[in-house]
Amino acid sequence: MKTIILILMFNLISLSLFASPKIIIGEDEIEKLKDLDPTSEIYLMSKPTGRLKLPGTLGIPDYCTISLISENEVLTASHCLTKRDHTKMVAYFEYYTKNGKTLNPYPVKLIKLNIPSADVAILQLEGVPGKKYGYYNLAKEMPAKNEALIIFEHPGLDEKSVSRKNCFLNDFDNEELAHTCDTENYSSGAPILNEKYEVIAVHQGSLATDTNELNYGHIIINLINH
Q: Where are the domains of the chain?
A: 2-36+136-219, 48-133
Does residue 216 contact residue 8 with C-beta atoms inside 8 Å?
yes
Kindly report, residue by residue over 126-153, the tens digit of the pLDDT: 999 999 999 999 999 998 899 999 999 9
3-state secondary structure of 94: coil
pLDDT value of residue 3: 42
Whole-model pTM: value is 0.86
3-state secondary structure of 199: strand
CA distance 18 to 1: 25
Half-sphere exposure of 92 (CA within 13 A, CB side): 21
3-state secondary structure of 169: strand
pLDDT value of residue 150: 97
pLDDT value of residue 151: 97
**Dihedral (C-alpha) 125, 139, 40, 29: value to the nearest 10 degrees?**
90
Show the low-confidence residues of the chain (pLDDT under 70).
1-27, 208-212, 225-226
pLDDT value of residue 222: 81
Domain 2-36+136-219 annotated CATH 2.70.40.10: no
CA distance 170 to 212: 11
CA distance 141 to 40: 26
Does residue 204 contact residue 223 with C-beta atoms inside 8 Å?
no
Average pLDDT, the chain: 86
CA distance 81 to 144: 32
CATH code, 48-133: 2.40.10.10
pLDDT value of residue 9: 37
Does residue 125 contact residue 107 with C-beta atoms inside 8 Å?
yes
